[in-house]
Amino acid sequence: MDIGIESADVLSDAFIDTKHLMGGAVMGADPDKSVTDLVGRVHGTTDAWVVGASVFPSGGIANPTFTALALAERTLGAIGGA
Ligand SMILES: Cc1cc2nc3c(=O)[nH]c(=O)nc-3n(C[C@H](O)[C@H](O)[C@H](O)COP(=O)(O)OP(=O)(O)OC[C@H]3O[C@@H](n4cnc5c(N)ncnc54)[C@H](O)[C@@H]3O)c2cc1C
């Protein structure tokens, strides 16, 4: 793949300080555009949950672990109330 200096600069600007894998199973309200609902339950299921950085709908602007942990705590709360 040819990625010129100009393209590399655009990528660098876009990701700033967070270059981690995430977003493989994004959460969202619309089942057509996301894998889980807003608390991490897989759309169309009653007891399949996704916990981790894969539910991030975007990359954010900082390193992801604290956000992943906060989302996990919220998902665990939802599981407890399910
Ligand atoms: C070198 C490095 C440095 C980092 N430094 C920082 C930092 O300073 N600050 C920060 O906030 N973040 C940092 N991160 C990012 C942070 O580690 C990740 O964002 C965080 O670990 C993501 O958590 P997760 O639970 O989504 O994924 P992971 O921690 O990757 O957990 C996924 C788990 O799923 C398991 N798994 C995978 N496939 C399957 C399967 N098929 N069946 C069962 N289990 C499976 C894996 O074994 C793993 O245990 C760093 C990452 C790296 C690689």
Residues 26-74: tens digit of each pLDDT: 999 999 999 999 999 999 999 999 999 999 998 877 889 999 999 999 9
Could you tell me the distance, in angstroms and rounded to a whole number, from the CA of residue 62 to the centre of ligand 1? Answer: 15
Q: What is the pTM of this model?
A: 0.78
Q: Where are the beta strands (DSSP E) in the chain?
A: none
Structure tokens at 30: 């619309």
Range of the domain at 38: 5-81
Output the pLDDT for position 12.
59
Question: How far are the Cα atoms of 5, 26, 57, 70, 74 from residue 77, in angstroms, in the given order?
Answer: 46, 19, 20, 11, 5
Q: Is 63 in the pocket of ligand 1 (CB under 6 A)?
A: yes
Tell whether the model's pLDDT for residue 6 goes beyond 70.
no
Count of the separate structural domains present in the chain = 1
To test the ligand 1 pocket, which listed residue (27, 63, 71, 75) has its Cβ within 8 A of the most ligand atoms? 63
State mean pLDDT over 14-22.
Answer: 69
Q: Is 67 in the pocket of ligand 1 (CB under 6 A)?
A: no
